Amino acid sequence: MVQPPLHELLATARVVALPLVTRFRGIDVREALLLEGPEGWTEFSPFAEYADEEAAVWLAAAIDFGWSAPPAPLRDRIPVNATVPAVDPDSVPAVLGRFPGCRTAKVKVAAADQTLAQDIARVAAVRRALGPEGRVRLDANGGWTVDEAERAVHALAEYDLEYLEQPCATVEELAEIRERTAYLDIPVAADESVRRAADPLAVAEAGAADLLVVKAAPLGGIRRALEIVERAGLPVNVSSALDTSVGLAMGAHLAAAVPELPFDCGLGTASLLAADVTAQPLVPEHGAVPVRRVVPDPVLLDRYSADEERTSWWLARLERCAALLSG
């Protein structure tokens, strides 16, 4: 990757603050910094709590997508799942209604402010809404201990789960819960143990997961993610990090280049945004999103521009992360 000079990055940088339809990951507004490179618009949007060393990997991904042509696509549409935040059961139909045609739902569980009983009620509501033919997967974001995960899996197994994503935080815990619940035949997926790990291949080498969830931005870009997929030798799903449609386009190009795509991907999350940077957002249509670049609308960039304080914060972060990459 040839890194553009800082002044080139700053020349097109736009910081936006987009409201969410419902609270997600503890936030009500998603902030992102958009850049325009020779290949098109790209996104730098690591979550605010991430340290610069981790955020710099996201900048490498943004530069890769904006300054290099993506790999040749193997498909032009990506089937996607609905994403159900930690909402109450009565809100589930409205959330699913924002994902037209999606046959799969990823349900958030194990939130620190929620109980297992609330998780069970939410998953039951999703299963009722999707019917017996729908696919239901759970995402715990590493929120359970091994014992808590085992109890939860037993309680939720009756809802015919497609897989359980990151039930525990560490690779060792994933291996243990996978062994304890093997008889239930519910695959274990690794997400944070790939994208937030010093060695993203460690979980595969330890036999701690049945599949990997890969995200372009946290892994340093499309090419780096494809290298991990090839070396891991496990089935993969491609997901996003609550990106704007510009960032989702990067994820869609990654999904388009993965040799095998057995799962509906987590790339429909623009439906969780109450606003976007384009009048043609990458939201699901008939259960899929197209593989295409996204060009922001100048009017929307102005309308949802972050305030001066937050813009300064993001530009300073961009400068620090660029220095880390060049160093």
Residue ranges for the known binding site for Mg(2+) are 139, 165, 191
> Are 151 and 193 found together in one domain?
yes
Residue 215 appears among annotated catalytic residues: yes
Residues 6+ apart with CB under 8 A from 196: 54, 218
Rg (C-alpha) for the chain, rounded Å, is: 19
Question: pLDDT digits over 30-75, tens only?
Answer: 999 999 999 999 999 999 999 999 999 999 999 999 999 999 999 9
Residue ranges for the known binding site are 139, 165, 191
> Are 192 and 110 found together in one domain?
yes
Q: What is the pLDDT of residue 22?
A: 87
Looking at 178, 215, 223, 253, which residue is catalytic? 215
Domain range enclosing 86: 77-290
Q: Write out the two tokens for 21.
A: 């339809």
> Are 181 and 315 found together in one domain?
no
> Are 118 and 264 found together in one domain?
yes
Backbone angles phi, psi at 150, to 5 degrees: -60, -45
Looking at 14, 98, 106, 108, which residue is catalytic? 108
> Are 270 and 311 found together in one domain?
no
Residues 6+ apart with CB under 8 A from 293: 40, 41, 249
> Are 134 and 257 found together in one domain?
yes
> Are 275 and 158 found together in one domain?
yes
Is the pLDDT at 1 greater than 70? The verdict is no
Work out how many domains the chain is built from and give that number.
2
Residue 106 appears among annotated catalytic residues: no
Question: pLDDT digits over 4-38, tens only?
Answer: 999 999 999 999 999 999 888 888 999 999 999 99
Q: Is residue 1 part of a domain?
A: no
Rounded to 5°, the CA angle 235-238-242 comes to 150
Question: pLDDT digits over 260-318, tens only?
Answer: 999 999 999 999 999 999 999 999 999 999 999 999 999 999 999 999 999 999 999 99
> Are 142 and 218 found together in one domain?
yes
> Are 229 and 81 found together in one domain?
yes
Q: Residue 319 maps to which CATH number? A: 3.30.390.10
